[in-house]
A and B are shown apart, each in its own frame.
Chain A
Amino acid sequence: MTAATATADERVAHVGALRRVLLKPEFGALIGAVIIFVFFAAQSDVFRSMSGAANWLDVSSTLGLMAVPVALLMIGGHFDLSAGVQTGTAGLATGIMTTYWGLQLYASWAVSLLLMLVIGFINGFLVTRTGLPSFIITLGMFLGLQGLNLGVTKQVTNTVQVENLDLVPGYHSLFNILGSTFTLGHAKFQIAIIWWIGFTAIASWLLLKTRFGNWIFATGGDPTASKNVGVRTDRTTISLFMMTSAMAWFVGNTQIARSGTIQAQVGIGQELYFIVAAVIGGCLLTGGYGSAIGASLGALIFGMTQVGIINVNWNSDWFKLFVGVMLLLAVLANQYVRRFAEQVRR
């Protein structure tokens, strides 16, 4: 036994080092991000300048803030197609309550958060209670909110946007928290980039270092097995949907805080990009595997590509083609990595 132990341990030490790095779900996205960065930085000095970085980090952060909770939700085994439109709902709610109904800014901020948590709860509750695919439930929520956003905005404002939040008392403190910039090397960086990094770190800690994180992996990996050992899978799922909605609240309010104006159709179509970022970051579509850092790297790839194509003076019409190819490559790489991970030892 002891002899066998010794040899077995040696073998692990030998194979383990490489495999452990390769097995990190975010490994592929990290390599991808480095390649994309080198590619554009080599061709454009705008891209590699500080103001260039501020530009592509801004695009990345807007996407990345949402991609992180969406990734957690995917690891937990679900989609939220209403994640994009929810950012619009949150921003519009804050805007309408303050500028048209005269509610105090932070009060309406809180009410808007409450509204989003209710929406997230409804998503999670319906998914867990009915057992229907989250795809269909949140598709319903997506369409419903899309109509609600447009209907209510038109009803209240007679236009398709809510404006003048910047005239509301207390706007500047909200602006400082969500919409301001900081200067680094003569370039102005959005404060949202800091929030993005912070939320990514928190989400990653939550996922890998806490009991809740363990339950997210388990719920996505095998809900029945998890339930049988006492994991509260329904509660985990509902919490994940509520977290996604809470982040939509944060992102939606960031949108309106930056300029004081928000369009009724904001966020529509974004939900797929959140999912793309999460998948490029190593999340499996089937759940149970993925990473928060990976999702942020996916968003970074996305942002760098979108800005980089403009920086190198390509026609930006090609952007979607690029994203499509990236997505397919990422899915193939994930497939390969997972097979490698699950491969029976030896």
Chain B
Amino acid sequence: MTNLEVNEVTEKPTDVPLLEIRDITKTFGSVISLFEISTMVRAGQVTCVLGDNGAGKSTFIKVLSGVYQPDHGQLLVDGVPVRFHTPRDALDAGIATVFQDLAMVPLMAIWRNFFLGSEPTKGWGPFRRFDAATAKRITRTEMGEMGIDIRDPDQPVGTLSGGERQSVAIARAVHFGARLLILDEPTSALGVKQAGVVLKYIVQARDRGLGVIFITHNPHHAYPVGDRFLLLKRGRSLGDFAKSEISLPELTRLMAGGAELEQLAHELERDEDGTGGVGRELLQDTETLG
């Protein structure tokens, strides 16, 4: 698509963030899923959203992608307040979400999945049809751009491996324009090597000038690629840091909930049988993390 050189653009300072999130609150009945969450993402940068299970990460994404509407707070795209009523509204604003379940239909061919919901058409009036040739060609080239060779675009998505599916989903989002890519735990179900591949895609998307919101519970995946880190815990923000304000050990410590981890280490150490070793190791870990 574009040369990497072209994207030096990202070095020019842009004052208006691509997406700014201001004090978003979302409740379901009496459950407060998100409470006054704020962060932002700029073009050509990666904002990581970190949190353990139940931290509100999924709700957060669903608010950004138009699945849920926030009860309070504002979303600003290019500095302009917006309201997304449906996922389509978010897509139209250039926000594409790669959901954890990847939003792909296993029994359908790769190229059909790639263009699902945004099919290119040709022909006129009642003879308007899905332009399959174009769809297959674009699927193949877009996947190629990400460094993935798909053997056969007619293959059902169900036959692909986890990492491959992830790459189809990311390539799809990038192709559809997305100026902002939201990735929901793209590395969580993957092995070490495959996770590395996905991180590479994130960097590639960033270098193309896209803004990326990367949701994960693994600080080791987040820190190398992230420019900004939002930490969530039980629906509340533990902080929203630029990379210069936080180090990997600090991030890990905050993530793990420092004191709780120490407590756990001591509990494990008290055990006389085989688990003692685990406790000691964990304790050492927490000490080195500070």
> Contact residues of A with B, CB < 8 Å?
1, 4-5, 8-9, 11-12, 16, 20, 205, 209-211, 213-214, 217-218, 221-222, 224-231, 288-289, 338, 341-345
Contact = CB atoms under 8 A, between A and B. Distances in A.
B106 interface: yes
Contacts of A343: 159
Contacts of A217: 105, 107-108, 112
Contacts, number: 100
Given A205-B129, A229-B117, 6 more contacts: A218-B108, A225-B99, A225-B102, A230-B88, A342-B107, A345-B159
Nearest to A338: B107
Contact of A8 (B107, B121, B151, B161): B151
A342 B151 contact: no
B108 A344 contact: no
Contacts of A16: 152
Interface string B108-130: 10001001111101000000111
Nearest to B173: A229
Contacts of A225: 99, 101-105
B87 interface: yes
Contact of B108 (A5, A210, A224, A288): A288
Interface residues of B, number: 37
Among A16, A221, A226, A345, the one with the most B-chain Cβ atoms within 10 Å of its Cβ is A221
Nearest to B169: A229
B96 to A, nearest CB: 9
A283 to B, nearest CB: 12
The 5 A-B pairs of least Cβ separation, nearest first, read A221-B105, A230-B117, A229-B117, A225-B103, A211-B119
Interface in B233-283: none
B187 to A, nearest CB: 20
Nearest to B161: A344
B70 to A, nearest CB: 18
Contacts of B167: none
B106 A221 contact: yes
Given A20-B154, A217-B112, A229-B103, A209 B87 contact: no
Given A210-B129, A211-B119, A217-B107, A344 B149 contact: no
A209 B132 contact: yes
A115 B121 CA distance: 33
Among B87, B112, B151, B156, the one with the most A-chain Cβ atoms within 10 Å of its Cβ is B151
A218 B119 CA distance: 12
Given A16-B152, A228-B99, A342 B116 contact: no
A345 B156 CA distance: 10
B149 A218 contact: no
B130 A5 contact: no
Interface in B133-153: 147, 149, 151-152
